[in-house]
Amino acid sequence: MKGPDNVKTSRQFRREVVELNVPTDQLAFWWLGQQGWIVKTAHYLLGFDFYLTDDPRRLVKPVLKAEDCDFFDVIFATHEHTDHFDQPVLEVIAKVNSKTRFVLPKIVQTEAAKIGIAGERAILLDAQKEAEYSQENLRIISIPSAHEFLEIDPDTGSAFLGYVVYVDGFCLYHSGDTCYYDGMLGKLREHSIDIAFVPINGRDGTRYRRNTIGNLTYQEAVDLVGQAKVRLACPAHHGMFAHNTQDPVLFIDYLTAKYPDVRYWVGLPHELVWYKRPLAIAAPDR
């Protein structure tokens, strides 16, 4: 996949993100490939499912280097797979900014501690709990994801998480890796979601036999964002590995036919995207 990632250096991309001025009624985001995203609001810089290791199998080469990730307030990881919980990268990020906090599934607590993410820096969640960030205007709610299956341990909670994030009056949903499961839509309908980041690469027997665990098909992803009444749908988890991808044009075609009122974004990695919503929303009371 060719695009801006071929012309920006890590320092140039860092400068673009850090120096960008975001008005209070807008947010900006960048797709890093796979399920990696950066979201910037007026007061927060968030990172999701960073995968910055330069694996030769990658079709989208990483631009941002771990040592240049010294500006994040919160970084999220949804589960322990390398392309979502990139441990060597997170270890460096934890060192270059002592103020960055990390939202992680409780099940990776031991691995996180080994790379310097422990104590107050680690917000450890399971499927049944939510976390309030220490500063105002940021609330994080975890919901289970089913990466083929719902795997819930009685002690450590869900192996796979998704996050609903209320930040500066916007509501985001990052599903991590997930298939559809009973009750999932109901959980999302509890929130008025501005932007949803969802996988579309699907699953099949060939991939499962080689231990490539599946996700939503593009049709399932369309129905999920359409029925949840998401305002902006962002399909992800495509274009990174040749053996595990899907054409996002199929997502667009199905979405525009079935849910024409739902906006979408499909673009290039490391491309700046703006989102504006006319009215701010508050997280629901618990």
> Per residue in 140-153, pLDDT tens?
999 999 998 898 88
Asked if 138 contacts 154 with a C-beta cutoff of 8 angstroms, the reply is no
Confidence of residue 285 (pLDDT cuts 50, 70, 90): low
Q: CA 7, CA 61: separation in Å to the nearest integer?
A: 11
pLDDT of residue 237: 96
pLDDT of residue 82: 96
Asked if 46 contacts 73 with a C-beta cutoff of 8 angstroms, the reply is yes
Asked if 58 contacts 240 with a C-beta cutoff of 8 angstroms, the reply is yes
pLDDT of residue 156: 82
pLDDT of 267 over the 90 cut: yes
pLDDT of residue 202: 94
* Domains of the chain, earliest start first: 4-276 (3.60.15.10)
Mean pLDDT in the chain?
92
- For the segment 33-63, what is each residue's pLDDT rounded down to a tens digit? 999 999 999 999 999 999 999 999 999 999 9
Output the six-digit token pair for 84: 């979502």
For residues 93 and 208, the model is more confident at 93
pLDDT of 4 over the 80 cut: no
What is the 3-state composition of the chain as percent helix, strand, coil, each rounded to the nearest 5?
Answer: 25, 25, 50
Q: CA 202, CA 179: separation in Å to the nearest integer?
A: 8
pLDDT of 283 over the 70 cut: no
Output the pTM of the full model. 0.93
Task: Report the percent of the chain where pLDDT is more than 90.
Answer: 83
pLDDT of 123 over the 60 cut: yes
pLDDT of residue 133: 64
Q: Where are the extended beta strands (E) located within the chain?
A: 26-33, 36-40, 45-48, 74-76, 101-105, 122-125, 130-132, 138-144, 152-153, 157-158, 161-167, 170-174, 195-199, 232-236, 263-264, 273-276
For 204-221, what is the mean pLDDT? 91
- For the segment 238-247, what is each residue's pLDDT rounded down to a tens digit? 999 999 999 9
Confidence of residue 270 (pLDDT cuts 50, 70, 90): very high
pLDDT of 7 over the 90 cut: no
pLDDT of residue 25: 95
pLDDT of residue 129: 64
pLDDT of 80 over the 70 cut: yes
Confidence of residue 3 (pLDDT cuts 50, 70, 90): very low
For 246-274, what is the mean pLDDT? 98
80 CB burial (10 A radius; 0-12, 13-18, 19+): middle
CA angle 14, 84, 211 (to 5 degrees): 145
Taking alpha carbons only, the member of 180, 162, 165 closest to residue 224 is 180
